[in-house]
C-alpha cells in the first residue's frame, strides 16, 4: 500500500500591527483609549503553590531528598557535638600539659639551683680535702720523725741493758735474789757480774701466769756487748741440753733453758720477729741484733748486710726476690 504524501498547509504569517504614533497634542486621548481596552480584558491570577502540598508529598525524589537532608543534618549535628567534645578534651589536656610543663620547668629550675649549690659545695670540699691531704702528709712526716726520735731514745736508754728470760720467780723475791742470779750467770760464762758492774736490776712487768723477764742494766754498753758475746760463745760450744739453764744460776727444781738477749722495745721486738720470718721464707742464713739494730745476711758468701729499720725495708727486699 502506497503512502500518500500530503503537502502541509501553509503556516499563517502573523499580522504585524502597525502602531501609528501620534503627535504630542493627541497623547491624552491615546492614553484613555489604552486604559479602556485594558478594562475590557479579563486576567487570571494563579495562587502560589505551598511547599509540602499533596502534590509534593507524593513526589518520591523530593521525599528522598528531604530524608537525606534530614539525615545529613543529624549526622552533621552528631559530628559537630563529637568534635566539640573532642576539642573540649583537647583543650583540657593541653591545659593540663601546660600545667605539667610549668611544674616541670619550676622543678628543673630548683634542681638547677641545687646543682649549682652542690657544685660550689663540691669545689669547697675538694679544696678542703686537698688541704687536709697536705696537712696529713705533713703530720705523717712529723709522726715518722717523732717515731724515729723515740726509737733512738729508746735505743739509747736500752743500749746497756740485757734481758734474762725464762727464769722462775722465787718466793718473796728481792733485789738481792736477782743480784745472786746475775752473779751465778757471770760465773757460768766467766764474766764478773757483780754489783759494781750492774747499775740496775729488776723484773719487767708481764701478763699474769707468764714468767717475767729480768732486766739487767750495766754501767757501759761495752760491758753489755762483752756479756752477750760470752753468752753466745758458751752456748755455741755446747749441745742443747748443756746450754744455759736454771741449774747454772743455782735454781733448784726442773732444769729449764734460759735466754739472754738485748733489751728491745716492743716495736723492735715485733720488727725482729718479722725479720726472722722473712729470713726463713726467703732463705736468709743470718738474722741478728747488734746494739739494737736488726741485721740480715743472705749467706756466708754474701758480703752485703741489710739493716732493717722498718717493715717497708722488708717489703722492698721481698719485692727484689
Q: Is there a contact between 106 and 98 (Cβ–Cβ < 8 Å)?
A: no
Q: Is there a contact between 128 and 121 (Cβ–Cβ < 8 Å)?
A: no
Query: What does 105-142 look like in DSSP terms, one character per residue?
Result: HHHHHHHHHHHHHHHHHHHHHHHHHHHHHHHHHHHHHH
Decide: residue 258, CB within 10 A, 0-12 exposed, 13-18 middle, 19+ buried: buried
Q: Is there a contact between 314 and 308 (Cβ–Cβ < 8 Å)?
A: yes
pLDDT of 7 reads 56
pLDDT of 49 reads 53
pLDDT of 18 reads 46
pLDDT of 57 reads 53
Q: Is there a contact between 211 and 219 (Cβ–Cβ < 8 Å)?
A: no
Instruction: Locate the domains of the chain by residue range.
Output: 73-157, 159-263, 265-320
**Mean pLDDT by groups of 10 residues along the chain of 321 residues:** 52 48 48 51 52 56 86 90 91 91 92 93 94 94 89 82 91 90 92 89 88 92 92 90 87 88 88 92 89 87 87 86 70
At 182, is the secondary structure helix, strand, or coil? helix
- What topology does CATH give the domain 159-263? Alpha-Beta Plaits (3.30.70)
Centroid of chain to Cα 223: 62
pLDDT of 20 reads 45
pTM of the model: 0.55
pLDDT of 2 reads 47
Q: Which residues lie closer than 8 Å to 264 by C-beta, 6 or more apart?
A: 158, 163, 272, 289, 292
Amino acid at each position: 500500500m502506497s503512502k500518500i504524501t500530503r503537502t502541509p498547509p501553509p503556516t499563517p504569517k502573523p499580522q504585524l500591527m502597525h502602531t501609528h504614533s501620534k503627535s504630542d497634542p493627541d497623547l491624552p486621548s491615546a492614553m484613555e483609549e489604552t486604559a479602556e481596552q485594558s478594562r475590557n480584558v479579563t486576567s487570571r491570577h494563579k495562587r502560589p503553590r505551598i511547599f509540602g502540598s499533596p502534590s509534593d508529598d507524593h513526589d518520591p525524589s523530593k521525599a528522598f531528598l528531604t530524608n537525606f537532608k534530614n539525615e545529613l543534618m543529624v549526622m552533621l549535628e552528631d559530628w559537630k557535638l563529637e568534635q566539640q567534645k573532642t576539642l573540649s578534651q583537647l583543650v583540657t589536656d593541653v591545659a593540663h600539659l601546660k600545667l605539667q610543663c610549668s611544674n616541670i620547668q619550676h622543678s628543673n629550675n630548683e634542681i638547677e639551683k641545687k646543682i649549682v649549690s652542690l657544685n660550689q659545695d663540691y669545689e669547697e670540699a675538694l679544696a678542703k680535702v686537698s688541704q687536709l691531704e697536705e696537712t696529713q702528709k705533713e703530720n705523717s712526716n712529723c709522726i715518722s720523725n717523732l717515731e724515729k726520735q723515740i726509737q733512738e731514745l729508746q735505743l739509747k736508754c736500752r743500749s746497756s741493758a740485757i734481758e734474762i728470760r725464762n727464769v722462775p720467780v722465787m718466793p718473796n723475791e728481792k733485789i738481792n735474789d736477782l743480784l745472786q742470779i746475775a752473779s751465778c750467770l757471770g760465773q757460768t760464762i766467766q764474766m764478773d757480774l757483780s754489783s759494781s758492774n750492774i747499775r740496775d736490776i729488776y723484773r719487767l712487768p708481764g701478763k699474769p701466769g707468764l714468767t717475767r723477764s729480768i732486766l739487767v742494766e750495766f754501767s757501759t754498753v761495752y760491758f753489755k756487748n762483752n756479756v752477750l758475746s760470752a753468752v753466745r760463745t758458751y752456748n755455741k760450744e755446747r749441745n742443747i741440753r748443756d746450754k744455759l739453764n736454771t741449774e747454772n744460776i743455782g735454781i733448784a727444781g726442773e732444769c729449764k733453758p734460759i735466754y739472754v738477749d738485748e733489751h728491745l722495745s716492743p716495736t723492735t721486738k715485733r720488727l725482729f720477729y718479722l725479720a726472722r720470718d722473712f729470713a726463713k721464707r726467703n732463705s736468709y742464713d743470718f738474722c741478728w741484733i747488734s746494739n739494737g739494730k736488726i741485721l740480715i745476711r743472705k749467706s756466708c758468701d754474701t758480703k752485703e748486710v741489710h739493716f732493717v729499720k722498718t717493715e717497708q725495708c722488708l717489703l722492698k727486699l721481698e719485692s727484689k726476690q
